Structure 1
Amino acid sequence: MMYFWVASLVLIVICAVFIFLPALKRRENNDQVLRDELNKAFYKDRLSELKEESNEGLVEDQQDLINDLKQSLLDDIPSDKLQQRQQALSPWLILVPSVLLMGVLSYALYAHFGAAQQVKAWQDVTNNLPELSKKLMQQDGAVLTDQEMQDLTLGLRTRLHYNPEDATGWMLLGRIGLANRDTGTSVGAMKKAYDLKPDDQDIQLGYAQALMLSQDEADQEVARNLLLQLTKQDYVDIRVFSLLAFDAYERQDFTSAIKYWGVMQQMIGPNDQRYEMLTRSIDNAKQQMSGSKANQASVKVTINLGDAVVLDPNAVLIVSVHHANGSPMPVAAARYPVSSFPLTVELDDRNSMLESSKLSDLDSLMVRVRLDSDGNVATKQGDWFGESKVVKIDEPVNITINQQYP
């Protein structure tokens, strides 16, 4: 704030100089001197004319005319009172109030229309940035209030505006995005930090954590690779295994999730209060794994082409599982690119069409296979197809595509 006052005072002084400069350069009594010089010149010229006129006999009372000329010269001299008034009217009486008025009016207009309070708040936040940054680094933003988050974001953006090569600043901004579940901000900021310092383990971890929030499978795969690279370091942060375990659990890879949680238990020891929580997570994953194995059902289908079939390389293979009564609405379906035949595919509950009707709920079923040539599943004209007989849920299915829709 001190810089504002100094800068504003300097501007006022410069304006005052421009106001004072014309008055300081003005010569005192300049008008009176010019008038006196002009009157003297006029008086001398008139005396010369009277002398010539007298020699020529044109003037009779030369002395009277000279006296009148002297009187005219005396009448043109300003009176003492007028000179005193002119001397008393000092330019400072105008200049000083003008400068004061300019200063008061300038500050008053800024106080009304300016943003002094906002600027002061911004400067206070910038000065408080180191303390807020330290708090965020220690607690991962868990104890920061909403206002502190806003202040920290403002301060960091100001700092990064003037120093865009600050990798730590970008990492902190990314952590704020993580705390606010702002995927765009967190991924963008962490990527900038990673581009600046790709070997920094804290930045690698933060970038992976941000990418885990993305809905893009490619981003999540990059995050997994970063985390797996971190597991090969001499020192591994426990959060690396926590993220890997969470990701594996979300992907229903319960075996990997159990392995990572077990590693975390070894790192913290049984006396840590988190040990029991990890035990419960492992037990839950084991239950999920045993339940999915017990209830999991799948249908393995082997597909052959009939001799009369002309294979369109742009066609798509559609495999659908139906109720044993041949209902046209499939229970499960999947689409595959055309490749070499015979071809074996496997469908399970992940291919179910409805949550309320799963493949594992069937006791018996039939399978239909079709080569869709136009990319529209609703049209069948000219498509080749085949279907199986009714089989049990655990029986393999063999189908030959040898029929064509008219």
Structure 2
Amino acid sequence: MSILSNFSLFVALSLLLSILLAVIVITPWLRRRNSVEIDNQLLDINVDVYQARIRELNADKAAATISDSYYQAQKTELERQLLAAKQVTTAMQPPSLVSRLMLMLWIPVLAGSAYMIISDRSNVFTLWQEQQIVGQVADDLLTGKIDEPPEWAMKEGLALFSAMQTNVHHNAHDPQRWLKLAEMFLSFGATESGLEALSRAYRLSPDDEDIAMMYAQTSFFALGGSLDDNIRRTLQGVLDSSPNKEEAQMMMAMGEARAGNYEQAQAWIGKMRRSFEQRAGDYSHEISGLDSLATDIANQQAQADDSVDVTVTITPSLLPLIVAEDVLFVAIRAATGGAPYAAKRVPISDLEQDRITVSLSNADMMMPDRTLQSAQALGEQLVVTARISRSGSANTQSGDLTTNPIVLETEQHSIRMQINQQVP
């Protein structure tokens, strides 16, 4: 039977089923109610009320509290009310012929519309085809049976990629599959997706040191060599089980130095140095590298000790003009103008309670030979400026929020300033 005949048969059966359902729905409307149903429940209640009221009237008449004429009038009125008391339920008014035809028409129309909306399953069919072609190759890659796909599978790159993702989600309890998927993402430069896959692998197997280290290293370099709470927690877990894990110790040292915790960074370097010294063999190259790193960190600390902490506040009347995407520029420059000696760009989202503190040092200098100390030694007057830019440009533009320059005195390491005006 051809595809066209199969489709025609399907459409015919669908229409027949829709019409049958329409008839079933409106069948109660087609029934004619020839009899009148009487509900005697209300009548029984009225009889009980009538009898109770008659007993009250008889008691009042026997006690001579009412006259004979009043008794007779009340009794006659109760009898009249009882005779009139009956409840009749009328049959439901059947809808018009037009209403019936509209309902019979709309049910197939709505059913057909729903089918047309959800009938496109081309993506599903494509996925099934990909699974049939490269599904086994994807499984072999994810389970480590092969290290790289065969040449013919490489030509089906997108299909293989899709099959691997589907395979991992079908085996979501397997951390090794998530690890392999992360490696594939990272090899294509998809760092965010790779981190997500690594985090799943780490949650499934937190005691696997290899997974933990790969997760920590990828997160560490994705953050530009910074440590966040998650990375610290992961590295600490590795060091708890392997106290002399050099890769974890090095990341802790570099991260602490970047965060300005120089003493902790030097402590990690000292621990690694002692570990190498206690080992048998020649580790002079490694020890020399650690000494060089310790010197660099000491220089960073010396520069930080000469830093200037600038606390910037914003006048309340300008707060409504600030949006989350704005950028704060803080700079130290010569009072006569020119390029700044040191500058820092920070997101305005770091603002807390209408204030933010920015530390400027020689580490933030624009040119190596123009340090803050050299400028002050030459007697040059330095000023501190702060500006909020919506465009993110380093050059002042109309609409920016700024403050008046404040003179930085020699040996002054902290300064407070307020942004209180808008550039016209």
TM-score with structure 2 length normalisation? Answer: 0.45
